[in-house]
Amino acid sequence: MPELPEVEVTRRGVAPHIEGRVVEQVVCRRDGLRWPFPPGLSALLAGRRILSTGRRGKYLLIHFEHGTLIIHLGMSGHLRVLPPGIEPRKHDHFDLVVNGPDGVQVLRLHDPRRFGAVLWHANEDGDLEEHILLRGLGVEPLGEQFDGALLHRATRRRSAPIKQVLLAGDIVVGVGNIYACESLFRAGISPKTAASRISRARYDRLAEVIREILAAAIVQGGSTLRDFIAVNGQSGYFQQTYFVYDRAGVPCRQCEAPVRQIKQGQRSTFYCAQCQR
């Protein structure tokens, strides 16, 4: 599943092609994906100018004067910017056609598994942060509010393993499975440790490496996930620097002990028992 870095890479890729452009039409080739497409979406957006793009966790936001288009890539989705006239392929379910100084361009959503989403939040419906999909999200890991003090304060009554707490997304958002495994390794924290037992000093280090890892992954175009393709058609290469993720049985890059794999909450966790205490 595309995680925060992949979504941010997507946002940065599409932004120059759609920001400031006027929507010409919206094309929906089915009734919806994970949820139905908003009714009358083409009428809502045709002739309207895109003000800016944003991201909240793993949600891509396209801001208009009268509301925000919320796009989620699901498990297998990706966006491409294409010239007009290219025939849609199977699983090309949604087009946002925009017009600007450089002519018409098509933002196309491809989603084979159809776990993605395209939703509309009108300004009259209230604060965007109160949208049902966004209101329970934690702070952004690359934002000013995120630090070790926040993690320490929010986990004093959390007996769940720290890996599960990171994935929950209600304290800090967007630290998915890959980047949680890598962050815990580089912070030297076992993924099985109860969140409430981790000290403030260790949380300071964990917050620091989460920032570093996510920022590095964005610069490197994200990770090459099975279904993720960036807007330019290329895959990321952050996976070349993995220390533990998807390396079960391979010698640890630091101590040469074999990397272990366990299941936590139906997700695979990779860690080094020697380096992570």
Rounded to whole angstroms, how far apart are CA atoms 127 and 147? Answer: 25
H runs (alpha helix) in the chain: 4-18, 41-45, 148-154, 162-168, 177-187, 200-219
Clarify whether 2 is annotated catalytic.
yes
Q: Is the dihedral of CA 58, 62, 65, 67 positive or negative?
A: negative
Cα atoms in the Cβ-side hemisphere of radius 13 Å centred on 215: 9
> In the block, which residue shows the tokens 């590095």?
216
Clarify whether 65 is annotated catalytic.
no
**Which one of 2, 5, 161, 191 is the catalytic residue?**
2
Rounded to whole angstroms, how far apart are CA atoms 106 and 96? Answer: 6
DSSP 12: H
Rounded to whole angstroms, how far apart are CA atoms 230 and 239? Answer: 15
Question: Is 121 annotated as contributing to ligand binding?
Answer: no
Clarify whether 191 is annotated catalytic.
no
Rounded to whole angstroms, how far apart are CA atoms 266 and 253? Answer: 26
Question: Is 158 annotated as contributing to ligand binding?
Answer: yes
Which tokens belong to 146? Answer: 């995120």
Rounded-to-10 torsion of CA 238, 243, 248, 250: 110
Clarify whether 267 is annotated catalytic.
yes
Q: What size, in residues, is the chain?
A: 277
Rounded to whole angstroms, how far apart are CA atoms 32 and 116? Answer: 9
Task: Judge whether 33 and 93 are in contact, CB under 8 Å.
Answer: yes
H runs (alpha helix) in 58-146: none
**Which one of 11, 56, 58, 108 is the catalytic residue?**
58
Q: Is the dihedral of CA 174, 176, 179, 183 positive or negative?
A: positive
Question: Is 91 annotated as contributing to ligand binding?
Answer: yes
Q: Which residues are catalytic?
A: 2-3, 58, 267
Binding site for DNA, by residue number, is: 91, 113, 158
